[in-house]
Amino acid sequence: MKTVSKNRTCVALTLAAVFLLAGCDHLTEPIDGPRLIDRFGDFSLIEPLGESRPSVDFAAGESVAFTARFNKQVNWVLEITGQTSGAVKRFEDFSDELTDANALWRGGTTELPFFGTEICDVALIIPDEEVDTLRTIVEVLSVKEYEGNVAADFNEDAGSDIFVGNFEFELDASSGLSAEVRPAEGEFFYLLRGTDDVVNNFFVGLIDIKATITGETYFPVPTSVPEDLYFNMFLYSFGTPNTIAVVQLVFDENGSGAFEDGQDQVFAYGDIVVDWVGWQHFHKPMSELGLTQAQVQELVAIRVLLISDNNAQPSPPLPVDYGIDYLTFTAGGPLQL
């Protein structure tokens, strides 16, 4: 009997040891979800907001990393705002530090327009903690150089390379190169503004941007594969009701090397109801517009029209307007901001 009792005791001790070891394994395993200190612990700043350099030359390939450390993981937002442009770059994360892995700025933007050469305010916001916003500044010495082939940036008078179609004299005098608002890129954008006074006409005016604006017969493109070739443009809305933008790409159908209205083939990007406020980035692959590999290599013009939605207009009709900027062809995807 003593032997049996002794054996039972050994088995019980063995099982207890096994369960204890198993419990120890669980203690050493990573914990899923937030730690208790992250949820309930007091917040403290271990390292203040800093930057890897006070000024940055993006055109030379430089970047700037922002750093900070906390005693626990928190939700944070880092906002970089151009003092002149108003451009905004935003980083967000849930972590206990900012490093070049989650807060490295290469010159791009989250909210248009693009940054210029300017002083930028940098703010680190920790919304869930009672802590003041941390701040610093960085100076942009030169702006980021974006990939792709620029078709038109409207930064200077294009002369005869842009034809203005004001056939019924409905475009007003403010139409043309403008800095009425901050351009999406550079110093100017193209403004189309006017009032359609012809009943049931809809059309206000247009511009034809000829490929010769680039110094070439056809718009240079970074790839001839329609599925990989993207057309990008930036449209500005003033919030003016009843405004429609129509953009068309023109293929040199007869091979003349010049845009000939009524003879060349037009591919429509599609009607865009311009009903927001500010700049927006629009982009599509050429395959979506229906162009072939041969056609994308012989684009001779880009036509931009201002349309009034007269079905919604009061009587007499109100003016309509929008801005357009930085028409660009990119390969492999849309322009990376």
For 273-319, the three-class secondary structure string (H helix, E strand, C coil) is ECCCEEEEEEEEEHHHHCCCHHHHCCEEEEEEEEEECCCCCCCCCCC
Report the first-to-last Cα separation within the chain, whole angstroms.
Answer: 82
Q: For the chain, which residues score pLDDT lower than 50?
A: 1-29
Q: Cβ atoms within 10 A of the Cβ of 306, count?
A: 28
Can you say whether residue 104 is alpha, beta or left, with left for phi > 0 and alpha for psi between -120 and 50 degrees?
A: beta
Return the H-helix or E-strand segment holding 178.
Answer: strand 176-178
220-272 confidence digits (pLDDT tens): 999 999 999 999 999 999 999 999 999 999 999 999 999 999 999 999 999 99
How far apart are the C-alpha atoms of 300 and 220, rounded to whole Å? 10
For 125-169, the three-class secondary structure string (H helix, E strand, C coil) is ECCCCCCCCEEEEEEEEECCCCCCEEEECCCCCCHHHEEEECCCC
pLDDT at 10: 45
Show the tokens assigned to 82: 């151009």
Residue 144 near residue 108 (C-beta atoms within 8 A)? yes
Tell me the domains of the chain and their CATH numbers: 38-142 (2.60.40.1930), 149-331 (2.60.120.430)
pLDDT at 36: 58
